[in-house]
Each structure stands twice: as structure tokens, then as C-alpha cells.
């Protein structure tokens, strides 16, 4: 099984320049990861000289960037802002193509108080479908996530409620967009993730392996120490023949050692997950 990591614990250092992408590549290799994930916030320019430097750093680091995470707000109540969000996201797609990043995480948008459920679902589906066409042109695959709330947003994700997530997933089912299934966010919402995973498994390309302290509270903890039923999830994935990427979302804020421990734990739990149990 291939394992990568989105280093949420390192976001401050990677975003303000205290840690470089080359540093992250080296740390990831030392932690035994097969690839790395990045946030689009790590990339500060699309100037050719800057991107050449990023490519050099990634090549020298010897790490494959599996997925980039972006934060499009397709449910904004103002039409002009939704149009801006699409333009911003198209730039993210182009950057992923330039850097040979296979997957780009896409979100529905924020749960703006002015946005009704029906309008938000319609706008999210329309914009993700349009963005998928752009991604197809550039050879990038979008992955829609059952998301909660990033630090970059004021409000929680519009599709944090699993029923809304599933309706939007159904509305983009016939596109090339896949699913990045997060194991922790549905637990944070207060529900069992397995029934939701079962509904979307045919479209799942990557698993965001995250853990939460308890049901009903967004409370990230070290992988394997919380309430998320990772063994049961891994057993189900094995039964379904899943053999793609496990992308750890490491948010314990225990530094590089926390990431290394998360990688060891995920591999152990995957190996221990018995298909016939």
C-alpha cells in the first residue's frame, strides 16, 4: 500500500518559509513515506523562474507529490465572487499540471449564512463540473472531499453534513472527478464514516487518513489514538480491492516525529486489517 502525507502540523513553517519544499521532501523520505501532499498555499507564484526552482527542489528531494489541496469557495452567495473562485481554481489546476501533480483536492465551498441548501448544492455541482473540464484539459484529476473546515475559511464546509456531501458527489458522478475520502471529518460531524464510504467507494481515489478524539467534535489527534474506526475502514477497503493511495492528514502538531509515527501506525493498521474478519 502506498502512503503519503499532508503535513498539517508543518503548515505554519511551510507557509512562511521556515521550512522549504525540499526540506519536506527529505523529511518525508526519512519518515518512510512513498510520496508527499502539499497545500496550494505553499506555492507563492506562477512565475517561470519560481516554478523552475520548485521543480528543482522536488526533483532533488526525490519525492512524488501525490495530491495538492486547494480551497475554492463555490458556494459564495455573490455570483461575481463565485466567478473569481473559478478563476483562482483554474490557476491551481494549471500549477498542478506544471508541477506534474496528479490529484487536486476540490471543495464545495463555505456554509455562508446567506446561501440556501438548494442554491449551494446547485452552485457546487455546476462549478465542480466546470472545473473538472478544465482539469481534464490539463491532465489533472480533481478529488472532491467530505470536508470540515480549513483555517483559510471563516465558515465550515457547506458539505460538512454527509447528506449534502453525498448529493453533490452524485451530481458530479459522471465526470472524471473522484473522491478523496476523509476518515475523520464524518466522525467529527457525529456520524459513522463506513456507511458514507460504502456509497462512494467506486469513485474513491485517495483516502485522507485522519483521526478525531471523539464523535461530534472536530478534535484532530494522532492517528490511531482517537475514535475513528480505522481498522474497520481498512478492512472494508481491502475487501473492496482498494489499492490506491492512503494520504495521511497529520494534525497532531508533534512535528516530524508525529508524522513518522503516523506513517508507522497506518502501515501497521493496514497490515493488521483482516479481510475475512
pLDDT for the residue numbered 8 = 93
pLDDT at residue 276 greater than cutoff 70: no
Q: Does 275 score more than 90 pLDDT?
A: no
Enclosing H/E stretch for 245: strand 245-249
φ/ψ bin of 223: left (φ > 0), alpha (ψ from -120 to 50), beta (otherwise): beta
Residue 133 is placed in which grid cell?
Answer: 473540464
Angstrom distance (rounded) from CA 24 to CA 256: 9
Question: In the numeric block, which cell numbers belong to residue 163?
Answer: 447528506
Residue-wise pLDDT for 180-206, tens only, equals: 999 999 999 999 999 999 999 999 999
Assign 277 a pLDDT band (cuts: 50, 70, 90): low
* Higher pLDDT among residues 200 and 275, named by residue: 200
Name the 3-class secondary structure at 256. Answer: helix
**pTM as predicted:** 0.95
Could you tell me the CA-to-CA distances from 50 to 47, 54, 92, 95 in Å, in that order? 5, 6, 15, 12
- Tell me how crowded residue 270 is: count the other CB atoms within 10 A of its CB: 18
- Confirm if 204 and 160 have CB atoms less than 8 A apart: no
Residue 61 has pLDDT above 90, yes or no: no
Separate counts of helices (H) and strands (E) for the chain: 10, 8
Q: Residue 69: CB partners within 8 Å, gap ≥ 6?
A: 6, 37, 38, 39, 40, 104, 105
Domains of the chain in start order, with CATH, are 2-272 (3.20.20.150)
Amino acid at each position: 500500500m502506498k502512503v503519503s502525507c499532508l503535513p498539517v502540523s508543518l503548515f505554519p513553517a511551510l507557509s512562511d518559509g521556515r521550512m522549504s519544499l525540499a526540506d519536506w521532501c527529505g523529511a518525508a523520505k526519512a519518515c518512510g513515506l512513498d510520496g508527499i501532499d502539499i497545500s496550494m498555499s505553499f506555492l507563492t507564484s506562477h512565475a517561470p523562474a519560481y516554478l523552475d526552482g520548485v521543480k528543482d527542489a522536488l526533483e532533488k528531494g526525490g519525492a512524488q507529490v501525490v495530491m495538492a489541496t486547494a480551497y475554492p469557495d463555490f458556494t459564495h452567495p455573490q455570483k461575481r465572487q463565485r466567478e473569481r473562485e473559478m478563476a483562482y481554481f483554474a490557476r491551481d489546476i494549471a500549477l498542478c499540471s506544471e508541477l506534474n501533480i496528479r490529484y487536486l483536492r476540490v471543495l464545495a465551498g463555505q456554509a455562508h449564512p446567506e446561501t440556501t441548501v438548494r442554491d449551494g448544492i446547485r452552485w457546487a455541482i455546476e462549478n465542480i463540473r466546470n472545473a473538472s473540464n478544465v482539469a481534464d484539459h490539463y491532465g489533472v484529476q480533481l478529488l472532491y472531499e467530505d470536508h470540515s473546515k480549513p483555517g483559510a475559511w471563516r465558515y465550515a464546509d457547506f458539505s460538512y453534513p454527509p447528506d449534502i456531501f453525498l448529493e453533490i458527489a452524485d451530481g458530479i458522478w459522471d465526470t472524471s472527478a473522484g473522491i478523496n475520502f476523509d476518515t475523520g471529518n464524518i466522525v467529527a460531524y457525529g456520524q459513522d464514516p463506513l456507511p458514507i464510504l460504502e456509497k462512494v467507494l467506486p469513485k474513491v481515489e485517495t483516502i485522507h487518513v485522519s483521526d478525531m478524539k471523539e464523535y461530534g467534535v472536530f478534535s484532530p489527534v494522532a492517528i490511531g489514538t482517537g475514535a475513528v474506526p480505522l481498522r474497520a475502514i481498512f478492512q472494508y477497503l481491502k475487501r473492496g480491492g482498494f489499492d490506491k493511495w492512503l494520504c495521511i492528514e497529520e494534525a497532531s502538531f508533534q512535528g516530524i516525529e508525529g508524522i513518522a509515527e503516523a506513517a508507522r501506525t497506518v502501515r501497521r493498521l493496514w497490515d493488521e486489517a483482516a479481510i475475512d474478519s
